[in-house]
Every structure is written in structure tokens, then in C-alpha cells.
Structure 1
Amino acid sequence: MKSIIVTADDLGLDPSINRGILEAYKNGLVTCSALLMNAPSTDEGIAIAKDNPGLEVGIHLSIVEGFSLRNIHSTITSKTAYFENGICLRRDWHDFLKCYLKGNINFKELEEEFELQIGKFKSHFNTIPFLNSTQHLHLLPGIWKIVLKLCKRHEINYVRLPKMTFPDRLWLNKRMFYLLPFSILGSYCRFSLRNTQIQTTDFMVGMQFSGSVTVDRLKFILSNLRTGTSEIMLHPGYHSDYLVKQLPTSYNNFLWEDELKAATSLDTKFYIESNKINLLKFSDVNTTEV
């Protein structure tokens, strides 16, 4: 039996992204969406989630690319107010990782930031069914320790963890060596989930073509699914000049509209139905091996 959970990341980031995610849910394959609590269009994202209870919404923990809810300059913030005039987290993963590797990130500040984001989410929703993060930075040692503690504290049952499997055609592309560290870190994180109530899906796919999942690439992903439950990460939306300008490192080459087409394609819907692939939410999955 093969099952998929199709998650749209970045709900709340921008009106153009919110609109695409809503369309991908109503007319496509998206069953879940990861909501940012510190983005320019978070309030609209919250409203979309409340107006569409069939869309399962979890938290997209913001480590970079958003306002700092602590609202004070610190080791986790940028000197540049790239979103309006607020105090912002570090602008991209390059900047964050450089500071992280130098030991210049204060983990206490980061934990306080995470607590504020989680608290804001819980002020609007009863539960947090799943968690992932911007640029998958929650996998980094030290940060993962904080995330694991917070998942236990706030009863977050699912967390996104990549897993590279061999032989697997999905990983054989030009991004393989870039993604290898994520897979290694993901395997370590999976091991640390043993003897906890926190789960992850058997497989996580979509990173191989992040920001450029076309109809053909999604069909390729579906045709190479393994037995078990796989989370497919997508970024459906409409092009945003604002995001490209403000966050060029992250979004300069993103093809949101291609991913929206993939999520709403009749071809992909037909492939799923004809191959009897189950389309699930996180809350539909009872047990998952880590």
C-alpha cells in the first residue's frame, strides 16, 4: 500500500502564495499546509485555515525569512528590515548557517522565538498536527534538540524529516550532493525519535526538485513511491515580484505557478486514482516507523 500526504509550505508568506495554496487545496492534491506565524500575510493565512477546516494546517517554524516575534535585535536577527519596518530574522539560510557554524547563534534566543511562534499558533488553533521549518534548518544539531523538546512539550505528533534511500531514482539528480547532508541529519533525528510519541512519515520527497516541481516531475515522484507513507512537499502559488526582491537568495528561481499546475493537474489526479495511491493528512496516519 502506498500513501501520500501533500503539504504546501509557506502559507502566510505572501497573498500570491496564499491564493495558490488555497487553489491547490480546493482544486488539487494538497491536503495539508504549513503556516508561518511571523510573515507579512500570516493573518490572511490564519483566516484561510479557519475558513477551510478540511485543510490540515501545521506550523512552519520560522528560523529565517520572517519577522522576529521577540522584536529585539539579537544573534538570530538581520540588520536589514527586509519586510516593511519590522525587526526580521536572518534573511536567508546562507547568513544563518555562517553564523551557526561560527558559534554565533544564541540557542536561548532561538528557543524563545520558537515558543512565541508556537504560542501564537495555539492561540488560534487547538492542536499542532505537524511541524516543519524554513529551509529545513530544524535538522541542525542544537536546533533539533530545541525542536524535539518543544514537540514533546506542545504535543506535536509529526515532524518533517528527510530520508535518502538507495537505490532510488528520485535522488539521482544534480541536487543529490546538496541534499545528502539533510538526509544524514534526518537519519540522526529519526533515530532520536525512538521511545517518544513523536512520529515522521516513512519517506519525504519533493526536496529533490524544491521550487520547480512540474507536472512531469510530480508524476516522476509518484511513479517512484515506495510502500508506506510519503510526504510530498510542494510550494504552489503565484509569482511574487515582492518576494523575489526581498528574499532573492531563497526565491529568485522559484517556479510557484509550475508547482500549482502540478498540484492541480488532471494527469496527476488520474495517476493517483488509477494506481490506488491513498491521499492522506497527518491525522489519518496512525503508526509510522522512524
Structure 2
Amino acid sequence: MKHLIVNADDLGADPCRNKGILEGIKAGVITSVSVLPNGPASQEAMEWLQRHGRGSVSVGLHLNLSEGRPLSSGLVRLVGSEGCFLGKKASLRLLSQKEDHSLRKEVAQELEAQMEWALSWGVPMTHINGHQHVHVFPAVVDSLISIAKKVGIAWVRLPLEEKPIVEMLLEPEVEAEALAFSRAAREASGKIRSFGLRSPGLFCGLYWKGVLSPRLLDEMLKRLPHGLTELMVHPGRVETGVRKAPFSGFSGQQRERELEALLNPEFRVMLKKYEVILTGFPSGVEPTRSCGS
């Protein structure tokens, strides 16, 4: 059997992204979401999931160490002069350090705060991943494993993806990022799996950032192997006002393009044609345990 998880990242980033993701959930084409714990619209997202999410979508935590304000206080290494995370490029450079005790201590503190926030809503959590894939970087992996084991979450994303064989025009930055994230995931995979944490057999989406289309979905589905695959998507609706930092990058038309590809009736036809079943992550842990206990 071929099973596909369509996981929408960045739920909670802003109301427009929430709107698009919820459209996909209601249409039955988004089967899983990852919630930003410090997003401006994260409360709105979790309130909706409390009311409507159970049974319709699997919910995970989108750990964030690169954009916005942290949830814990007293951080020095992870933040800049205004108290916000350092931004994508600077944060990923910092988190690439393998041996830095003070940095690892701050990472552990912040990840525990983010997990506590997620569990406080009473919404079962099935999986963990990272905003900009920070969770597989060297300074983060140990803390990721620790909190996942403490609260009983079994599924962790490994953003390890081969370059698509389908012909498509790749922006150099997107291709470079995909290679870097895959390399980090490959290096982290042994340790993550050694602790009994699980990942779908195949991951897709690094190379399709902002360019997802019915044609690309068809190319993916026709090559899908038996087993469980995760497709990472970033859907949303176009913002009507002025963008405000954080989370202002990769927004608007690109996100709407991804959403429209999923909502296109052709997607359902393809799923039936290639005998692919949409699903979420299995078995969410009920939030009864503290990650600090």
C-alpha cells in the first residue's frame, strides 16, 4: 500500500497562512500540520484545532530557533540585541556548531518551553520537525531527542531528499538549501533512529518550495513507493496588508500556488489513479506529561 502524509508547515505564522491551511484541511487534502509555537497567529491555530482538529488532521510541533521571539527568557547566544532569534542564515550557522555547551543549554531551554506551550493546549501531538529544519542541526539534535522521548512523541522528520528527476527550473538558493538540509539530516539520522524515533520511509518537498503544481504532484505520485511518504507543503492565502516581520519571507503568491495545486480536482484523480491513500501521522500522544518531568 502507498500512504501519503501531506503535512503543512508554518500553521500559526499569520492569519493568511492559517486560512489557507485550514482550507486544505477542510477539503481533505492536508492531513497533517506543524504549528509554530511563537507565531503571531499560533493561538488562533490551536484554538481551531481544539474545536475541530481531532480526527481530521495530525498535529505536530514546528520547533523554531531562527525567527521571531523565543518563549523562554534569559537567552544570550540564540538572540540578537532586540531579543529576537537571529534570522535564518545566522541561526543555521550558529546551530551548525557541534561542541558548544552554553549554546546547547540555551537550545534545550527553549525547546522545552516550546513543547510545554504545545502540550498546554490539550491537543494530541504526533510528530516534531523544525522551522527551516533546525531540528537536525548539530546543536539541536540531542535536545530534540530528549523532549521527544520525554513526552512520548515517536515521529521526527528527516528532511533527506534526492534531487527530483523531473525537469524543473530550480532557483540556485533553493537547490543549495535542499542539499544543506539533506546533508544535516543524513548526519543526524543515525542518532535519531538509534533512540527509537521514527520517520516516514520517504520525504519530499525541499525542492518544490513555492513551485508545487499538478504536474509535479503527478510526477511524484507515479514514482511513489509502497510504504509511508511525507510531502512537506507550505500553503496559504495572499496577505492583503503590509507584511510584518517575522515570518515575512516566502509568503503570498508562492503559498497560494501550493494551496491551489492541492485543491485542484486533478490531485484527487491522481491519488486514485496511482492508488495512493492520504493519511496523517499515526497515534498522537495525549498531552498529560510535562517535558520537564
Q: Same fold (TM over 0.5)?
A: yes
CA–CA distance in 1 between the matches of 2:64 and 2:140? Answer: 12
Q: How does 1:119-198 map to 2 (within 5 A)?
A: 119-125=116-122, 127-165=124-162, 169=165, 174=170, 175-198=174-197
Shift of 1:78: 3.0
Shift of 1:262: 1.2
Cα shift readout 1:13-51 (whole Å, capped 9, x = no counterpart): 100011100001111410010011111111101012112
Aligned counterpart for 2:91 among listed residues 73, 96, 99: 96
Q: How does 1:1-290 map to 2 (within 5 A)?
A: 1-52=1-52, 53=54, 54-72=56-74, 74-80=76-82, 87-90=83-86, 92-100=87-95, 106-125=103-122, 127-165=124-162, 169=165, 174=170, 175-240=174-239, 244-247=243-246, 250-251=249-250, 255-283=254-282
> Contact 1:211–1:253 at 8 Å: present in 2 too?
no
Q: Aligned residues, how many?
A: 277
CA–CA distance in 1 between the matches of 2:199 and 2:167? Answer: 19
Q: TM-score of the superposition, structure 2-length normalised?
A: 0.84
> Contact 2:17–2:237 at 8 Å: present in 1 too?
yes
CA–CA distance in 2 between the matches of 1:134 and 1:147? Answer: 13
Q: TM-score of the superposition, structure 1-length normalised?
A: 0.85
| SS of structure 2 residue aligned to 1:106 | helix
Residue range with higher mean Cα deviation, 184-193 or 204-213: 184-193
Structure 1 gaps of 5+ residues are 81-86, 286-290
> Contact 2:235–2:259 at 8 Å: present in 1 too?
yes
| SS of structure 1 residue aligned to 2:237 | coil
> Contact 1:28–1:265 at 8 Å: present in 2 too?
no
Instruction: Indicate how the Cα distance of structure 1 residues 173 and 146 shifts in structure 2: closer, same or farther if over 3 A, else same.
Output: farther
Structure 2 gaps of 5+ residues are 285-293
Cα shift readout 1:244-287 (whole Å, capped 9, x = no counterpart): 552488326860100110121100111002221011111179xx
CA–CA distance in 2 between the matches of 1:135 and 1:242? Answer: 25
Instruction: Indicate how the Cα distance of structure 1 residues 254 and 212 shifts in structure 2: closer, same or farther if over 3 A, else same.
Output: farther
Instruction: Indicate how the Cα distance of structure 1 residues 243 and 124 shifts in structure 2: closer, same or farther if over 3 A, else same.
Output: farther
